Structure 1
């Protein structure tokens, strides 16, 4: 009799264990931005990348205290891009993200970041995009397929869907749009050819040159849809020398960023929805603008995730237009 009771208890304990394991698995699946990769560990990013990411989180924490308490999880983006998607969260609630990349000369750089609960690689958006293609994540995986998060500089975050004996599909991670396969295949081939050894790029002395920084509050700009409000198409682009002052002192004026033929890499044209200053080195409390500073511009945020990108990157790729010239 006692043995029967012990056997039943053992079976109940096993059932509870299996149930909890399944629930934890579903929780990890819903939170992990690239649902088909392994759980994040420190082995997925070199120590130099983690140190750099923590410094950027500290800088963001000077204007948004959530970053100071956030856990940072690292997800490699590849192949050949030498980049990491860093998800910041507090008790499984997303508070922001960063994309950290390695430049050709081995320097770490904050390519872009976002603040808030929106994720750049979002499983819900991925599911909607697959549904439009009459596909499901479960059936793709069951058939031996794979879905991975990829990144192409300067600003193209995308999903690559690979299935046995079929051409790969590429989906824009920011809005779910289907991307031209031939363009992405060429980009991946070029990245593979140019790719050097990551250990050679990330030298220990890189981190010794990084200065501590701080950020200003996020300054918001008017929200609108450039594809509906088309008056900006008749305006002349702002001169590069005037853009930073225009952003800082004309915040009520709506601006559009367009990269012309390179809009594929931005999902643009996009509204300028805000900006934030990053200060490095010594800060003059009387006049913060006298310190070394970098201006990050927020793009999108209406129908897609709001993405902060350095003004220097945008200068090189496109132009800013006044919405109502």
Structure 2
């Protein structure tokens, strides 16, 4: 049975605490010591029950300038189109993602309420790629999701505070890493003398051993950071009126799979204003993709180097729409028409 954490009411105070908690978990190795740029792991002593509030102005100091430029130019480009128009003046928080800090989570907020996110990754040719982005209040790597998942797995010590202004209490020697591979954001939880456990950073579902290893990254066209504004352009978002929740009407289970081998096919399947959706399911690998996913639109980025078609993907039980490169899903499962 899939595990879906109970929804948590987002208040300004809780959202602010969650953002600060996430920043602390990933940017500090012990109280009072700021982590280096490559620190995406932290040791948690058993008696650690409080956290030090971090100034958002201190976080970007370790962010590579190219990543910051890429993020801000991508945000500027996206803010020209709904539903991203309120991103232009949003606050920005950076969090490193492993392994090896090759990716960065960029969280956008206004008055400390989450608006959306970007995940930026480096490629093998010295460029940067927008691995995914999205809009909503339930951002990937939410501390609320992690807390619910760890509590369900029995990994919190008795007496762990329920107040989001206090850090969670783990067994001695516990480490937590935020990892990212294409379409697979996840936490790695290392408990002393026990096998590592992996938790999907969107759904909160614990991943099996088979889904733990890094997946092979598909080829995604890279956009050089210094040319984002001048060369790469995003199209308006094309969205349908299809159901965002793949579980609301599950007649798609009996449908014949669509033959989709190229991203361009989604432009025909997902027409603006239609009442259609395409369901992505990966069978035994559903947990890896937090599937089934309801695909209800797309946005295309173009440059002389090529183009990337991002699909709007919605999950059951979350207030989040992820924009995933179509290439990360094609060939990984089946696409079914939603009734």
- TM-score bucket (shorter structure): 0.7 to 0.9
2:252 aligns with one of 219, 222, 231: 231
Kindly indicate whether residue 137 of structure 2 is the aligned counterpart of residue 123 of structure 1: no
Q: Is the 8 A contact 1:156 1:172 kept in 2?
A: yes
1:69 aligns with one of 83, 86, 89: 89
Return the offset for 1:315.
Answer: 2.6
Return the offset for 1:136.
Answer: 2.2
Distance in 2 between residues matched to 1:81 and 1:230, nearest whole Å: 42
2:67 aligns with one of 44, 49, 64: 49
Distance in 1 between residues matched to 2:323 and 2:132, nearest whole Å: 5
Query: Which digits, 9 at most, give the CA deviation of each residue in 1:115-168, with x for residues without a partner?
Result: 12221111111111112112327564362312221112x211111112222222
* Structure possessing the higher radius of gyration over alpha carbons: 1
Sort the Cα spacing of 1:231 and 1:314 in 2 relative to 1 into closer, same or farther, 3 A: closer
Aligned partner of 2:200 in structure 1 is 172
Matches within 5 A, 1:142-157: 143-152=172-181, 154-157=182-185
Aligned partner of 1:161 in structure 2 is 189
Aligned partner of 1:284 in structure 2 is none
Q: How many residues are treated as equivalent by the alignment?
A: 274
What TM-score, normalized by structure 1, do the two folds share?
A: 0.73
Q: Is the 8 A contact 1:273 1:301 kept in 2?
A: no
Q: Is the 8 A contact 2:297 2:311 kept in 1?
A: yes
Aligned partner of 1:92 in structure 2 is 112
Give ranges in structure 2 of 5+ residues lacking alignment.
1-12, 28-53, 161-167, 218-222
Kindly indicate whether residue 278 of structure 2 is the aligned counterpart of residue 246 of structure 1: no
Kindly indicate whether residue 184 of structure 2 is the aligned counterpart of residue 187 of structure 1: no
Return the offset for 1:214.
Answer: 3.9
Q: Is the 8 A contact 1:76 1:84 kept in 2?
A: yes
Aligned partner of 1:296 in structure 2 is 310
Return the offset for 1:70.
Answer: 1.2
Residue aligned with 2:330, SS: helix
Distance in 2 between residues matched to 1:251 and 1:26, nearest whole Å: 37
Give ranges in structure 1 of 5+ residues lacking alignment.
1-24, 192-204, 282-291
1:313 aligns with one of 316, 323, 328: 328
Residue aligned with 2:145, SS: helix
Aligned partner of 1:265 in structure 2 is 288
Q: Is the 8 A contact 1:232 1:322 kept in 2?
A: no
Aligned partner of 2:26 in structure 1 is 37
Return the offset for 1:45.
Answer: 2.0
Q: Is the 8 A contact 2:252 2:338 kept in 1?
A: yes
Q: Is the 8 A contact 2:70 2:226 kept in 1?
A: no
Aligned partner of 1:21 in structure 2 is none
Sort the Cα spacing of 1:30 and 1:248 in 2 relative to 1 into closer, same or farther, 3 A: same
Return the offset for 1:303.
Answer: 1.5
Sort the Cα spacing of 1:240 and 1:159 in 2 relative to 1 into closer, same or farther, 3 A: same
Distance in 2 between residues matched to 1:49 and 1:265, nearest whole Å: 27
Return the offset for 1:300.
Answer: 1.8
Return the offset for 1:233.
Answer: 4.0
Q: Is the 8 A contact 1:55 1:212 kept in 2?
A: no
Q: Is the 8 A contact 1:145 1:163 kept in 2?
A: yes
Higher RCO (C-alpha under 8 Å, 6+ residues apart): 2
Query: Which digits, 9 at most, give the CA deviation of each residue in 1:291-316, with x for residues without a partner?
Result: x8643211124313321112233334
Q: Which has the higher helix share?
A: 1
Distance in 2 between residues matched to 1:244 and 1:122, nearest whole Å: 32
Superposition RMSD in Å: 3.1
Query: Which digits, 9 at most, give the CA deviation of each residue in 1:59-118, with x for residues without a partner?
Result: 111022211101221111012361111101122121110111112222211111111222
